[in-house]
Amino acid sequence: MTPAQFQRAWVLQAQADAERGVLECRMCRRRGPLEETTTLWRNGLLVFALCDRCAASHEVVFSPTQAGVEVRARRRSPVELVTQEVPLVHGPR
């Protein structure tokens, strides 16, 4: 799929989802309630959706261009990987 085809497919799906009150985030592809999503509309069409989780962890810049709207997102901080060590249990010897 080309990015343009993907965008069209996403817009159709998002439009249908929005009517049911849910939206798929463009970044993490998770579905969430409409009220927890930042949406961008253009000419009556939903063109972009971003969930609050992604919006909180990214710096998102929308800039209108001739072809549409360009969205740039940059992670605010490096990904934090949390590892958990399994406690070793030593029985009495």
Binding status of residue 49 toward Zn ion by CB under 5 A: no
46 lies in the site for Zn ion, by CB under 5 A: no
Instruction: Choose, by CB under 5 A, the member of 14, 23, 24, 25 that binds Zn ion.
Output: 25
Among 14, 23, 24, 27, binds Zn ion (CB under 5 A): 27
Nearer to Zn ion, 14 or 54 (CB): 54
DSSP letter string over 11-79? HHHHHHHHHTTEEE-TTT--EEEGGGEEEEEETTEEEEEEEHHHHHHEEEEEEE-SSSEEEEEEESSPP
> Residue with the closest Cβ to Zn ion?
25
Least distance from Zn ion to the Cβ atom of residue 3, Å: 18
> How far is Cα 34 from Cα 17, in angstroms, rounded to an integer?
9
Residues that bind Zn ion (CB under 5 A): 25, 27-28, 51, 54
